[in-house]
Amino acid sequence: MFVTIAYAMGQAPQQGAEAPNPLISLMPLILMFVIFYFLLIRPQQKKQKDHKKMLSELKKNDQIITSGGIYGTIVNLKDNTYIIRVDDNVKIEVSKTAVSGVTKRAEKTANN
């Protein structure tokens, strides 16, 4: 029961056989990136864009909710913060990025 070296090495490669196209071997990786882009990256970018637009449209007397769950009415706007009224004599200053949504927009008056 001797095994010859030629038999152990397997079959010799055939002459004229073409190597697989490298683009086809990369196709699953490209397909995964496209799926991740449309399922994860693109919706997140859209959400960030909508949130940034919502923050830029905020004005005085808008009722908001913060990411911490605090409801309040905007009293004053600063560069990076809002001062919101949460009760009759209670005002707090919150970061613009802490605002997660608008519950009620300020009514437009005849002067605005």
* Segment (H or E) for 92: strand 90-95
Class of domain 59-106: mainly beta
Q: What is the pLDDT of residue 16?
A: 55
Q: What is the pLDDT of residue 110?
A: 45
Residues 68/39/45/31 CA torsion (nearest 10 deg): 150
CA pair distance 62, 65, nearest whole angstrom: 10
> Per residue in 63-111, pLDDT tens?
999 999 999 999 999 989 999 999 999 999 999 999 999 998 877 654 5
> Per residue in 26-40, pLDDT tens?
999 999 999 999 999
Asked if the model's pLDDT at residue 13 lies above 80, the reply is no
Entry pTM: 0.65
Sequence-distant (≥ 6) Cβ neighbours of residue 96 within 8 angstroms: 55, 80, 81, 82
Any idea where the domains of the chain sit in the sequence? Answer: 21-56, 59-106
Asked if the model's pLDDT at residue 17 lies above 90, the reply is no
Environment class of residue 106 by beta-carbon count within 10 Å: exposed (0-12), middle (13-18) or buried (19+)?
Answer: middle
